Amino acid sequence: MTNIADWLIPCLRQVQVLKQTNSLSHALLITGADGVGQEELAHEMVKDLMCEKNQAAACGTCHSCQLMSADTHPDFRVLDGEASTIKVDQVRLLVRQISQKPQVGQNKVVLITHAQAMNINAANAVLKALEEPADRTFFVLTSSQSSSLMPTIRSRCLLVNVPTPSMNEVKSWLMQQPDGKALGALFWLTTQPFRLLAIQQQGKTQLYAGLPDQLTSMLRGTVSVSAVLKGLDSNNIEDYCNGLAAILHQCICHSTGAPIDEALQTIYDTLIARLGIQTLMLRYQSLQKLKSDLQKTNLNPIMQLTHELNQW
């Protein structure tokens, strides 16, 4: 078995056993909180399903497995709704493509990640495909908001629920990742393991890790607002907004008794004394609004965030 996170293994085994005994449903819906690894689990399951060997886990060596690792398998199709709505034409095209006989192995697989992004027509097209399953064709869906999927889709799927890992599981998993130790400095932002990994893969660990110290210095008056925002550009404005909003959110939660990350303690003490809880909440809402406005308009991000931080 490939090296996957410990908390995903029972889910993977569950499906492997069903596959090996030929009793696997032709539709799977993988659910769980954002960032716990639904997509990673789905890709492992797809590899197992595409393997030509009649065994539980992918062999890694057959022609199908090689095509999967080269990302060129003709009988595997994927739609991802992370960045945009999944539309009906995309689903129809894909259903047409896999309605042929398998070109390589025995099975064909359609993977739809972030399936909640299907619009109603796309969802109906998927439902139709699930109602009239083609031979040896599997649909694998992932969603962190499975309750927003049509109940008629959910009821046709085998549900695989990915558990949320404990802090200790997340920490020990991060230690096994290259440079994963540095990500421990971002627990104030998120404890979702695959979100942390995505931040690292995008080369943004330092951007986030530096924020608490820079803001602490800014509030003490030893660095300027423009120094805090010196790395800001149009590609990372959303990260700055996310980071600042997460810090304010932690401070607001701490004011009601929730624990706060050590890195944010001085920021909390200063802001609560300087602004009070009501204003902190206003600043948090203002940042959220700024984040959505920036996507729609041509606001100058540096000017907007400078104005925001000047009010801290």
Nearer to Zn ion (CB atom), residue 53 or residue 171: 53
Q: How far is the CB of 43 from Zn ion (least distance, A)?
A: 15
**242: part of which helix (H) or strand (E)?**
helix 237-255
51 binds Zn ion (CB under 5 A): yes
Q: How far is the CB of 17 from Zn ion (least distance, A)?
A: 18
DSSP string, 267-309: HHHHHHHHTHHHHHHHHHHHHHHHHHHHHHS---HHHHHHHHH
Strands 158-161, 137-143: pairing kind: unpaired
Query: Hey, is 69 helix, strand or coil?
Result: helix
Region from 58-66, 104-112, 195-203, 284-292 binding Zn ion, contact rule CB under 5 A: 58-66
> Which CB atom, from 53 or from 291, has the smaller least distance to Zn ion?
53
232 close to 305: Cβ distance less than 8 angstroms = yes
CB of 123 to Zn ion, least distance (A): 32
Site for Zn ion contains 183 (CB under 5 A): no
Looking at the Cβ atoms of 9 and 59, the one nearer to Zn ion is: 59
**Are 143 and 36 contacting, i.e. CB atoms less than 8 angstroms apart?**
no
Contact flag: residue 62 with Zn ion (CB under 5 A): yes
Q: Min. distance of Cβ 146 from Zn ion in angstroms? A: 30
Instruction: Identify which range of 49-57, 82-90, 195-203, 243-251 contacts Zn ion by CB under 5 A.
Output: 49-57
CB of 66: closest distance to Zn ion in angstroms?
A: 8
Amino acid (one-letter) located at 55: Q
Distance CA 248, CA 278 (A): 12
Query: Which residues of the shown chain bind Zn ion in the complex (CB under 5 A)?
Result: 51, 53, 59, 62, 65
